[in-house]
Every structure is written in C-alpha cells, then in structure tokens.
Amino acid sequence: MDFDFSLPAIPLTPAHARHLVGLDIGSHSIKLAELKPGRNGWTLIGLNRVNLSPEVIVEGVIINEAAVIEAINTLFEGAKTRTKQVAISLGGNAVIVKRVTMPRMSFEDLERNIEVEAAEHIPFPMDEVNVDFEIMGDDPDEPDRMIVYLVAAKKDMINELTGVLLSCGLKAAVLDVDVFTVGNVFEVNYPELLQEPVALVNIGASVTNINLVRDGKSLFVRDITRGGYEITEEIQRALGVSFDEAEMFKRGGGDDQADSLIPEEVGEILRNSSIQLARDIQRSLDYFAQTGGTERVSRLFISGGMSLVNGMDRIIEEETGIAVEILNPFRKIAIDEKRVDPMVVEREGAMYAVSVGLGIRRAFDK
C-alpha cells in the first residue's frame, strides 16, 4: 500500500520525479537507497548508511538536528547521487494506523469527508495531524460497509523532517509509513508468494513493525516497542561497557580479532532478548486470530538491522512455529556494481528494507 501525506510546500511536477531517493531516518542510523526504473525492472544505483549516536534521535524525535543534517549530507556525498527529491517515512509514535469499517462510499466521497470520518477513530485533534487512507474493499461480514486503513501523521513531526531536508537542499516528494514500505519491497521481490498470507517483521532500533499481507493488501499491522537498542542497553548493564562496545558485541565483534572475543554473557542476553521479541510477535499473531483473522500465516520474513544478529531467525522460528526467512530487498533488483559494492548488498541487505521500499515510490504514483 502507498501512503502519501500532504506536503503542500514542495512544488514538484512529474518531470522532476523520474525517480526518488529512499531515505530511512531511524534512531540508530540513516540509510539511503537510490533505484532507477527500467524496462526490465529496478536497478540499484546508490546505497549508503551512516550510524547515529543514541541521543541524536530518541523515540522518533530529532534531538540533535545538526547531527542529522551532517549525516544526511554525508550519505548523499558517499552515494554520489544528484537526485534531490526524496521519499521518507514515519513510524512509531509519529503515526497512528487504524483498520476500520465504515459505510460504503466512493473514493471521492471519502476524500471529501475524510476528516469527519477519521475524527471518530484518531485520538488526536484533526488540526494536529495529516490524514491519508486506502480503501481495502467490501467488508465480507457487512456488505453495506467497507474496510479502510486510516493513517494519521503528526504535523509537527512532518514539519520537523521536511525542515531538516530543506536544510540539506533536499525536497520531500513522498511521505510514507515504515510498516507499509516493507510490504512494497515484498511485492517487488517475491511475486510468487503474493497469494500466501505472510508476516513481514521489520526489527528496528526502538520499534518492531509487523505487517500481515496477502494479495498486496495488509490484513493486520502492529508496532511493538521493542528493538535493538533494548538489547544493547542490556549488554551495557550486564558487562559495564560503553554503548559502542555493547553494539559491537551484539553484532558479533569488530574487525580486529581481539575485539571479536565476545563475552559468554552476550550470547545469553541475545538469546533471551530474541525469545522475548519472538513471543511478542506470536502474541500479535494470536491477537489477529482472536479478532476474526481467518488467515494462517505461512511464512514470516524478518528485516532491519536486528534480523542479521546471529540466530535471530532460528529463535523466532522456534517460538512461533512458522518458517522464518531474512527478507532480501534486492532479490529481484539489479545492482550497478560500478556504483554499489555487491558485498555490502549481500552482507547488509536486510537493513535497507525501508529505504528500498521508499526508493521504489514516485511523487505521483498514488
């Protein structure tokens, strides 16, 4: 599903938006993916990542704007991209996603009345949010009603992000939602599985997004406030080490052999934290089933930086009883090896699920 909130201050025309740069602004890092469309599909022509200190962005709020601007400028310089139009997304507390039923009406009628309809379901004053929607079809239980996804994004968060981009000489052409960008990636890369009910789980630094999809539609979405930072902090407390050292241990050690000697406690912390996350995922799937979901999830794909932690996929599979794979956002995407290191794609690919999902958007594809 493609969401695109109102960005009236940004005058773009279709001629300006042949392709966009996907920019994933997260708590742990900012990631860039630039993809070029062609007759045979997509080609990756730019990829880059810059890590952030944990105090720069906290729970989606930019605390150190100068550090974010510096990181974005570094990203674009490293990727050697000249494209200035970007697609960005929001997640966590910055957005609210509601799957609701309402009386059947046309797209145009709902568009005209969206604020009135949304006010019944969104727990914020309508003048504080921008609202978008997607009609999913008729409600099978009530033929005179339809299923709609409502998404409300806080205006102050939108203004904050677009202001940072303008300071970098960039223009936000599309504003999407983290949880749905991974669904777009899945559609492009796994066309043979689109008829199956699949769970897409993107494990970020502070939030884990769950999106149950089938036939290109979301059946259920949920955010879990558990992510990689929680594990890093647990390692810090247990070992009395710095944040950077705890991050290094979590990810399997550094390049130096001496740095790669991981304390035994780290393995136990990783396992226990992975089990807790897996159980949270299972509870979400159980909730979906208890609230009328008749679909039995056949596969579960994980993405995000934490998906690459050793054993994460196996533990989630053990706890949920569902076959788990690490999502490959580049499975059906060609790589321009003159501009992108294929080893980075192979080693870190799952980290870029959101930025790739944004990179395949258009300013006028709604």
DSSP states of 22-42 as a string? EEEE-SSEEEEEEEEEETTEE
Please report which confidence band the pLDDT of residue 254 belongs to, taking 50, 70 and 90 as the band edges: low
Q: Is 110 inside a domain boundary?
A: no
Three-state SS at 335: strand
Please report which confidence band the pLDDT of residue 292 belongs to, taking 50, 70 and 90 as the band edges: low
Q: Is 166 inside a domain boundary?
A: yes
Based on the fold, state whether residues 200 and 279 are members of the same structural domain.
Answer: yes
What digits encode the pLDDT tens for the residues 120-146? Answer: 888 888 889 888 888 888 888 888 998
Question: What is the token pair recorded at 184?
Answer: 């777009």
Q: Are 57 and 50 in contact (CB under 8 A)?
A: no
Based on the fold, state whether residues 178 and 43 are members of the same structural domain.
Answer: yes
Task: Give the pLDDT of residue 11.
Answer: 35
Based on the fold, state whether residues 274 and 159 are members of the same structural domain.
Answer: no
Q: What is the CA radius of gyration of the chain?
A: 20
Q: What's this model's pTM, rounded to 2 decimal places? A: 0.88
Q: Is 112 inside a domain boundary?
A: no
CATH number, domain containing residue 233? 3.30.420.40
Phi and psi torsions of 283, nearest 5°: -60, -35
Based on the fold, state whether residues 25 and 168 are members of the same structural domain.
Answer: yes
Q: Is 137 inside a domain boundary?
A: no
Q: Is 104 inside a domain boundary?
A: no
Give the pLDDT mean for 151-159.
Answer: 89
* DSSP element (H, E) containing 103: strand 95-103
Question: What is the token pair recorded at 158?
Answer: 């939108």
Based on the fold, state whether residues 198 and 71 are members of the same structural domain.
Answer: no
Q: Is 109 inside a domain boundary?
A: no
Give residue 50's domain range: 1-93+155-187+331-366
Task: Give the pLDDT of residue 288.
Answer: 85
Residue 350 confidence (pLDDT) above 60: yes
Q: Is 233 inside a domain boundary?
A: yes
Question: How many domains in the chain?
Answer: 2
